[in-house]
């Protein structure tokens, strides 16, 4: 006939815990202890060997953590330690604040602010994410965002606004790379493979046509007579004469212009 009664590892009882008054350390078995302080306060401690080192891990006060809950927590810690894990590191990771997507993009934007080509580019970077991604995944923690969530962000604009969608995808990828580098998530970037869940984008029929060179003198004359602001006209003429990119012209500074040598030195940045 099987013996009845408490499991031999489970030394303590709820009634016995309530009646304990003397300061000391009382074992429940399996490395779980109830510590009674001189003040009468009672708290749970799990003594365990973690990766070759003996550690005491606090499990909370007896006033808020019941005997059954303390045993459950202790059991989980023992399983983690036996499998080679580090329960202390796991607890710290669980307690660490992981930002939601909306918080993350603000952090990434702030960190990259000095590297933007200009302020307008920085504004465009974060505004596209606020417009298309935040309404869908803004409140989701970055470690819980999956490829399916990225698909939900991109699907509404993937075929209607392909260029915008590609920029959003690239910026999403940057955010998740930042999250992984800062220890907020692991595994693959959820942007990878998102295209498999999206419709195929159709390529534009052709690029914008270039103005034939023989027509350029007439265009320059028309530009001078156009009813528009002086600065835009001069900037456009400057762009044509220097064959520079629009971003280089828009970002030009007087300090880059050498009037005596008639040169414009464009910084490498």
Q: H or E stretch including 154? A: helix 147-158
> What does the pLDDT look like over 23-36, one tens digit per residue?
988 998 888 999 99
Task: Identify the bridge partners of residue 258 per DSSP, sorted by sequence position.
Answer: 263
Query: In whole angstroms, how large is the CA radius of gyration of the chain?
Result: 32
pLDDT in tens, 155-210: 999 999 999 999 999 999 999 999 999 888 888 999 998 988 888 887 665 667 78
Residue ranges of domains in the chain, CATH in brackets: 14-95 (3.30.160.390), 101-197 (1.10.150.130), 213-264 (no CATH)
d(CA 120, CA 135): 22
The reported pTM is 0.50
Whether residue 202 contacts residue 212, with contact meaning beta carbons closer than 8 Å, is answered with no
The answer to whether the CB of 52 falls within 8 A of the CB of 66 is: no
């Amino acid at each position: 006939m099987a013996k009845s009664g408490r499991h031999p590892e489970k030394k303590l009882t709820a009634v016995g815990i309530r009646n304990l008054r003397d300061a000391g350390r009382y074992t429940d078995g399996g490395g779980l202890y109830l510590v009674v302080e001189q003040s009468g306060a009672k708290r749970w401690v799990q003594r365990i060997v973690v990766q070759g080192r003996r550690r005491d891990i606090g499990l909370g006060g007896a006033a808020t953590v019941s005997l059954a809950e303390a045993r459950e927590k202790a059991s989980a810690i023992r399983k983690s330690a036996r499998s080679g894990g580090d329960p202390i590191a796991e607890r710290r990771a669980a307690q660490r604040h992981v930002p939601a997507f909306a918080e993350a993009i603000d952090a990434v934007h702030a960190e990259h602010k000095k590297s933007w080509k200009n302020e307008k580019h920085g504004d465009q970077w974060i505004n596209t994410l606020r417009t298309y991604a935040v309404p869908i995944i803004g409140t989701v923690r970055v470690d819980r965002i999956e490829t399916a969530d990225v698909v939900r962000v991109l699907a509404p604009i993937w075929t209607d606004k392909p260029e915008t969608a590609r920029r959003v995808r690239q910026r999403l990828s940057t955010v998740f790379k930042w999250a992984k580098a800062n220890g907020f998530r692991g595994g693959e970037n959820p942007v990878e493979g998102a295209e498999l869940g999206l419709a195929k984008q159709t390529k534009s029929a052709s690029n914008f046509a270039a103005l034939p060179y023989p027509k350029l003198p007439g265009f320059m004359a028309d530009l001078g007579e156009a009813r528009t602001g002086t600065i835009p006209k001069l900037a456009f003429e400057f762009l044509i004469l220097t064959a520079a990119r629009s971003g280089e012209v828009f970002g030009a500074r007087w300090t880059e212009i050498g009037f005596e040598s008639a040169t414009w030195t464009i910084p490498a940045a």
